[in-house]
Amino acid sequence: MNYVSRQTLERLPVYLRFLKSQCIDGPINTSAKTIAEALSLTEIQVRKDLAAISDGGKPRIGYITKDLINDLEDFLGYKDVNDAIIVGAGKLGKALMSYKGFAEYGLNIVAGFDTSDEAVGTDEEGKPIFHLDRMEELCRRMNIRIGIITAPADYAQRIADKMVKSGILAIWNFAPAHLEVPDNVLVRNENMAASLAVLSKHLSEQLMNS
Amino acid sequence: MNYVSRQTLERLPVYLRFLKSQCIDGPINTSAKTIAEALSLTEIQVRKDLAAISDGGKPRIGYITKDLINDLEDFLGYKDVNDAIIVGAGKLGKALMSYKGFAEYGLNIVAGFDTSDEAVGTDEEGKPIFHLDRMEELCRRMNIRIGIITAPADYAQRIADKMVKSGILAIWNFAPAHLEVPDNVLVRNENMAASLAVLSKHLSEQLMNS
DNA sequence: TAGATTGTTAATCGATTAACAATC
DNA sequence: TAGATTGTTAATCGATTAACAATC
């Protein structure tokens, strides 16, 4: 499979979502132009992205929708299930635990962990919340590779350390904290502050010009 | 104030967070090197970013921590309060409504909206949840400019349209949907599927090489 | 065949990095 | 003064866009 840049990789699920959304009564073929227009991208970019992960479309016809969906799902690994655990069973943590949509992406959150007496021992949509002390053992036993951090920032680094020790290789970090991890471990920050900065900058520019 | 690229803008809150985290007993001065090492960035990048938004540091000394914090907060508008509303009072919506941390960024969620009988009429951390029909009137009356979408994808575009009609200029979209809005309105997608794609790609690469 | 659409090669654009002069 | 650290100008790098040949 070809090399795919970070930017391309992030667009692929967007293409897939669009293709699936039109699939029910959908056209047999879809052109790069159609996709580009629907998603406010350029035709050329869509073609280049798709060239990297599909066997290619046919001139004058476009891509076979069904095959393209298939290729995207293959490449993104949506058909394999990745088990994950989540640390921090506050409101955000519980919201993610009970979100049904992740199944579509092959993400399966198997359990939550916390240290508070209130949370530990309860369930969230049938998913158990254990004490943090039991995390390593469960991760090892179940071969968990993905960890999600929804704990307060002060604990984030310690949790990340614990995750690394438990064999986790990819961390999805919702805490406003920079995490230090070994090279083979990837951290993806869901950086709310960055998003807010972009929103609020746009706002101040808009209001300035009026 | 200088032009600041999207990438720089997204890093600024990270610098600010670091500076604040060390401020209590913190050093009077902070160098670009210190910041870069703490955040796994390069010195040069930090300097260039900071040059755009501060009066500058002093050779051999670095930046005056207190002033730098001040400049960053000014630039990012953390001292002004931006009121916002949120549509979709499910678990994620409620989690965001009750998150105290947004205050630090100058974001103030004033109310939630939903259509379900269960949610409408209730409170979340003292913030009322109204019926969606009342959104436009409240936005107009309170001059709301920021809207947050935490509703199912199927409703996202209709909600966005309603937000635009209500005078909202910046939309923070958590729904897995592409939104069409006028040019003067900015959409920031919190694209979970993109994050998962990056995590899962890393994982498959790591597991392949072992 | 004609023409729409693909994939690729080259050009452009913008962000990051390097080199270096300025200065406390 | 010497040397650490700043800010700026130039070089590099990578992603996007444009141009165009290939083809169904």
CATH of the domain at A56: 1.10.10.10
Residue A150 in domain: yes
DSSP 8-state secondary structure symbol assigned to residue B80: S
Q: Are residues A96 and A190 in the same domain?
A: yes
Location of structure tokens 């961390």:
A171
Nucleotide nearest A57 (Cα, C1'): C6
User: Rounded CA gap, A174 and A92, in Å?
Assistant: 9
Mutate to test the interface with A, among B200, B208, B210 (most CBs of A within 10 A): B200
Q: Are residues B65 and B101 in the same domain?
A: no
Nearest to A159 by CA among A132, A186, A124: A132
Cβ of B170 and A200 within 8 Å?
yes
User: Rounded CA gap, A15 and B189, in Å?
Assistant: 15
Residue B114 in domain: yes
- Domain boundary pick from A29, A59, A76: A76
User: Rounded CA gap, B39 and B51, in Å?
Assistant: 18
Q: Are residues B65 and B99 in the same domain?
A: no
Residue B181, Cβ neighbours under 10 Å: how many? 19
Q: Are residues A37 and A100 in the same domain?
A: no
Location of structure tokens 């006028």:
B182
**A184 interaction partners in chain B (CB closer than 8 Å):** 206
Q: Are B79 and B30 in contact, with CB atoms under 8 Å apart? A: no
pLDDT digits (tens, 9 = 90+) for A158-191: 999 999 999 999 999 999 999 999 999 999 999 9
Which chain B residue has its CA at the smallest distance from A6's CA? B198
- Domain boundary pick from B76, B93, B109: B76
Location of structure tokens 């998962």:
B196
pLDDT digits (tens, 9 = 90+) for B15-68: 999 999 986 777 899 999 999 999 999 999 999 999 999 998 999 999 999 999
Q: Are residues A53 and A91 in the same domain?
A: no
Q: Are residues B38 and B88 in the same domain?
A: no
Amino acid at B2: N
Q: Are residues B35 and B102 in the same domain?
A: no
Question: For chain A, how many structural domains are there in total?
Answer: 2
How open is the CA angle B48-A198-A188, to the nearest 5 degrees? 80
Kindly list the distances between the CA atom of residue A192 and the CA atoms of A87, A155, B46, in Å, as whole numbers in the listed order: 18, 18, 20
Res B75 pLDDT > 70: yes
CB pairs under 8 A between A and B: 178
Chain centroid to Cα B103, Å, comes to 11
Which chain B residue has its CA at the smallest distance from A94's CA? B91
The rounded mean pLDDT for chain B is: 96
pLDDT less than 50: residues of chain A = none
Res B7 pLDDT > 70: yes
Of A94, A176, A186, the CB nearest to B101: A176
CATH of the domain at B86: 3.40.50.720
Taking the C-alpha atoms of B145, B149, B153 and B155 in order, what is their torsion angle to the nearest 10 degrees? Answer: -60
pLDDT digits (tens, 9 = 90+) for B179-196: 999 999 999 999 999 999
Q: Are residues A95 and A178 in the same domain?
A: yes
Residue B1: predicted pLDDT:
57
Taking chain A, what is the end-to-end CA distance rounded to the nearest angstrom? 50
Nearest to A1 by CA among A74, A64, A106: A74
Nearest to A95 by CA among B106, B190, B134, B180: B190
Residue B201: predicted pLDDT:
95
- Nucleic acid strand D within 7 Å of A6 CB: yes
Residue B94 in domain: yes
- Domain boundary pick from A42, A76, A110: A76
Which helix (H) or strand (E) segment holds residue B138: the answer is helix B135-142
User: Rounded CA gap, B54 and B74, in Å?
Assistant: 10
Residue B199 in domain: no
Residue A66 in domain: yes
DSSP helix/strand/coil, A79: coil
Residue A209 in domain: no
pLDDT digits (tens, 9 = 90+) for B123-151: 999 999 999 999 999 999 999 999 999 99
Residue nearest to nucleotide D8 (CA to C1'): B48
Residue B36: predicted pLDDT:
97
Tokens of A144: 């968990």
Q: Are residues B58 and B154 in the same domain?
A: no
Residue A106 in domain: yes
Q: Which domain holds residue A47?
A: 6-76
Q: Are residues B190 and B86 in the same domain?
A: yes
Chain A residues 35 to 54 with C-beta below 7 Å from nucleic strand C: 43-44, 47-48, 50-51, 54
Number of residues that this document lists for chain B = 210
DSSP 8-state secondary structure symbol assigned to residue A123: E
Residue B25: predicted pLDDT:
74
Which chain A residue has its CA at the smallest distance from B1's CA? A205
Chain A residues 37 to 66 with C-beta below 7 Å from nucleic strand D: 41-42, 44-45, 48, 58-61
**B192 interaction partners in chain A (CB closer than 8 Å):** 101-102, 105, 190
Tokens of A205: 């520019």
Residue A27 in domain: yes
DSSP 8-state secondary structure symbol assigned to residue B183: T
Res B73 pLDDT > 90: yes
Residue B198: predicted pLDDT:
97
Q: Are residues B72 and B87 in the same domain?
A: no
Q: Are residues B86 and B33 in the same domain?
A: no
